[in-house]
Amino acid sequence: MPQRSRKSHPVTRARPVKDAPGLQGAAAPRVGSRLGGNRFFRDLVGSMRNGVLAITRDGHVALMNNAAYRILNLKPRPTDLGRPCADVLAGQREVARILSSAFELSNLPSRAELRLKTSGKVIGYTLSLIADGGGRPIGAALFFKDLTRVEQLEERERLRDRLAALGEMAAAIAHEVKNPLASIEVMAGVLRRQLSVSGDARAILNDIIKEAKLANAIVLEVLDFVRPIRLQVERVDMPHLLRDAVATAEGQRERGATHVTINPAPDLPPIDGDPHQLRQIFVNLIINAFEALNGQGHVRVEAFTSHEDHSVTPDLAQPAEVLVVDVADDGPGMPEELTDRIFSPFFTTKAQGSGLGLAIVRKIVDAHDGRIDIVTRQGSGTRFRITLPVSGAKEWFR
């Protein structure tokens, strides 16, 4: 059979590109001349969001991009290229040790993690050798990324799991304690009615009933705190809800000579929310004000609309409308150093208090995608500001 003739195709050989500045003899990647050669290489490495740090075989810095400087909290200097790695990374000794170990290890780490001692940042890194055309190592490169935010989110997730388990345990304990407390209160009441006892014995029974009621109230607050909030959302008229909250608070605590002013702005729009949960927010805050004033002073409840600043919500097409409610008193206030702990569970400045009231308030505010802020100074009163979206969370992140 006649053999087919084979057409010969010309072989195109890529022309080598000179080493990019800063590589100090390391083999530069080959790129097409139409892409700009070394300039393209420099722009590529400089534009990377991950840190890139390369050294030569003798331990001198060959390349370091802006992301590497930023992650390592180092200030770029034009003289860094060509300097010993230990000098450039004087503030990050552990990074310098990792790079220098590349020529000694048989298995280089990939996707390893390191916590920087100076800044506390967590970086994930991959270490690679740079080889020439003959396979001889002429340098080492470290590629790394700041994982601090990822680490924080993972720790927050672990904390959320622990808190969920703790909540389930607290709910189980509270249920077990609630029934005996109710029995103690009932039996003490029956004993007080049926027995002809002396004044001292009657006082003791009254104390038993009082303490049992207090313990039962704390148990109920614990249950409220650990239970997940399930909102029954409807349109809420805030002026009506605030007046109802003041009346409820007055029924639960004696206000004495404390004067209460409710001042909602005209034409307040209704908001999307759970009216029962929202009422609990303001009842708790108003009761706190009554207790701080001890039958004196003035409580002011004001409500008005505002708009979220673009600096707070930069992704919004337009600032979202919010409803702001201030609950302020002219009482003794509190030290400013306590404001960071005021919403923590079981933290209280009262002689008899569970420390859950404000923690529950914050939980309800968070469930409504709102914010709560406190401004206080010892001797100058306290103001709580509640900020709630008018149309629900979907409008905040449209």
Report the CATH number that the domain containing residue 102 is assigned in CATH: 3.30.450.20
Answer whether 296's CB lies under 8 Å from 261's CB. no
Q: Choose from 94-103, 170-179, 193-202, 222-231 the range with maximum mean pLDDT.
A: 94-103
306-336: b (≥16 Cβ within 10 Å) or e: eebeeeebeebeeebebbbbbbbbbbbbbee
Angle between helix 357-367 and helix 199-226 axes, rounded to 10 deg: 30
Burial class (CB in 10 A: 0-12, 13-18, 19+), 55: buried
Long-range contacts of 169-172 (CB under 8 A, 24+ apart): 170/222, 170/225, 170/226, 171/222, 171/223, 171/226, 171/227
76 in a domain, yes or no? Answer: yes
- The whole-number pLDDT of residue 367 equals 86
What distance in Å separates the CA atoms of residue 246 and residue 242, rounded to the nearest whole number? 6
- The whole-number pLDDT of residue 11 equals 37
Please give the angle made by the CA atoms of 64, 70 and 75, to the nearest 5 degrees: 75
25 in a domain, yes or no? Answer: no
Q: Look up residue 36 and give its two tokens.
A: 């700009």
Which of these three, 165, 191, 226, is where a domain ends?
226
Same domain, 247 and 387: yes
- The whole-number pLDDT of residue 23 equals 40
72-to-75, 102, 125 alpha-carbon distances in Å: 9, 19, 13
Same domain, 218 and 251: no
What distance in Å separates the CA atoms of residue 48 and residue 14, rounded to the nearest whole number? 26
Same domain, 287 and 387: yes
Report the percent of the chain where pLDDT is more than 90: 24
Phi, psi of 190 (to 5 degrees): -65, -45
Q: Coil, strand, or helix at residue 385?
A: strand
Decide if pLDDT at 316 tops 60.
Answer: no
Least confident of 26-30, 142-146, 272-276: 26-30
Q: Coil, strand, or helix at residue 38?
A: helix
Closest CA to 343 of 388, 292, 303, 284: 284
Domain with 276 in it: 234-396
293 in a domain, yes or no? Answer: yes
What distance in Å separates the CA atoms of residue 18 and residue 64, rounded to the nearest whole number? 19
Same domain, 382 and 240: yes
343-to-120, 324, 365 alpha-carbon distances in Å: 27, 19, 12
Burial class (CB in 10 A: 0-12, 13-18, 19+), 51: buried
- Taking only the tens place, the pLDDT of each residue in 190-220 is 777 777 666 677 778 788 888 887 777 777 7
Which of these three, 162, 196, 226, is where a domain ends?
226
Answer whether 90's CB lies under 8 Å from 74's CB. no
Same domain, 276 and 207: no
The radius of gyration computed from the CA coordinates of the chain, to the nearest angstrom, equals 34
Same domain, 142 and 164: no
Decide if pLDDT at 374 tops 80.
Answer: yes
16 in a domain, yes or no? Answer: no
Closest CA to 202 of 211, 212, 191, 213: 191
356 in a domain, yes or no? Answer: yes
Which of these three, 226, 243, 271, is where a domain ends?
226
Decide if pLDDT at 397 tops 50.
Answer: no
How many Cβ atoms from other residues are within 10 Å of residue 284's Cβ? 22
- The whole-number pLDDT of residue 326 equals 95
Query: How far is the first Cα of the chain from the last one, in angstroms, to the nearest whole number?
Result: 74
Same domain, 216 and 364: no
- The whole-number pLDDT of residue 155 equals 65
Least confident of 5-14, 108-117, 134-143: 5-14
- The whole-number pLDDT of residue 25 equals 38
163 in a domain, yes or no? Answer: yes
Beta pairing class for 112-115 and 137-146? unpaired
Same domain, 136 and 174: no
- The whole-number pLDDT of residue 335 equals 79
Q: Choose from 140-154, 210-224, 312-326, 352-366 the range with maximum mean pLDDT.
A: 140-154
- The whole-number pLDDT of residue 117 equals 82
27 in a domain, yes or no? Answer: no
Q: What is the pTM of this model?
A: 0.49
Answer whether 392's CB lies under 8 Å from 233's CB. yes
Answer whether 145's CB lies under 8 Å from 52's CB. no
- Taking only the tens place, the pLDDT of each residue in 46-88 is 788 889 999 999 999 999 999 999 999 898 888 888 999 889 9
Same domain, 276 and 379: yes
Same domain, 254 and 320: yes
Q: Choose from 174-178, 179-183, 245-249 the range with maximum mean pLDDT.
A: 245-249
What confidence tier does 355 reach under pLDDT thresholds 50, 70, 90?
Answer: low
CATH number of 246's domain: 3.30.565.10
What confidence tier does 143 reach under pLDDT thresholds 50, 70, 90?
Answer: very high
- The whole-number pLDDT of residue 151 equals 67
Same domain, 381 and 309: yes
Which region holds residue 53: left if phi is over 0, alpha if psi is between -120 and 50, else beta? beta
In the chain, how many domains are there?
3
105 in a domain, yes or no? Answer: yes
Same domain, 242 and 386: yes
The torsion defined by the Cα of 19, 24, 27 and 32, in degrees rounded to 10, comes to -20
Least confident of 84-88, 185-189, 309-313, 336-340: 309-313
- The whole-number pLDDT of residue 219 equals 73
Burial class (CB in 10 A: 0-12, 13-18, 19+), 356: buried
